[in-house]
Copies of this chain bind each other. A is one copy, B any other.
């Protein structure tokens, strides 16, 4: 097994404010669907290399059934202010988002999206993520099914105390 707690790679030190497990709730809307609410868990961790590993999942707050999930890696090449996010989605989509870091605020926009042969959905996303201490808020806009970039999700999460 790899060392469980190596030092953070200096390239991603400016992203240290993301580390940990975050849980909370969000609300979704879109012109083509009914409004909905969801529970969410987001985890950021590192292994001493120049990236943060990332896994996210949401669930229906009433029935507990899983809704969305995504997983991938966050990069900050050269320790600068340009953020790169590589993502896989279980709908058969891979996606790259790029954008900027300013303090503890990150803005990202889809730059590449590709799908498997059987995948149906293709969308482009825009994310605004803002951390204040142990609080994380994000907003996500989506362009999909012929609808231009439109507000889709917003959520407020709290960082879990260290286990």
Contacts and interface: CB of A to CB of B under 8 A. Distances in A.
Interface of A: 1-3, 6, 39, 41, 47-49, 51, 53, 55, 57, 59, 64-66, 69, 71-73, 75, 77-78, 82, 84, 86-90, 92-96, 98, 111-112, 114-119
Among A51, A73, A93, the most chain B Cβ lie within 10 Å of the Cβ of: A73
B96 A116 contact: yes
Contacts of A3: 64-65
A27 to B, nearest CB: 18
Nearest to A120: B77
Contact of A53 (B2, B69, B75): B69
B116 A114 contact: no
Main secondary structure of the interface of A (DSSP, over half): strand
13 contacts: A2-B66, A49-B90, A69-B73, A71-B72, A72-B88, A75-B118, A77-B118, A86-B88, A86-B94, A94-B95, A94-B112, A96-B114, A98-B116
A59 to B, nearest CB: 4
Contacts of A96: 92, 94, 114-116
Given A1-B59, A47-B69, A75-B118, A53 B90 contact: yes
B86 A93 contact: yes
The 7 closest A-B pairs by CB, nearest first: A77-B118, A72-B88, A94-B94, A84-B116, A51-B90, A73-B90, A86-B88
A1 B116 contact: no
A81 to B, nearest CB: 12
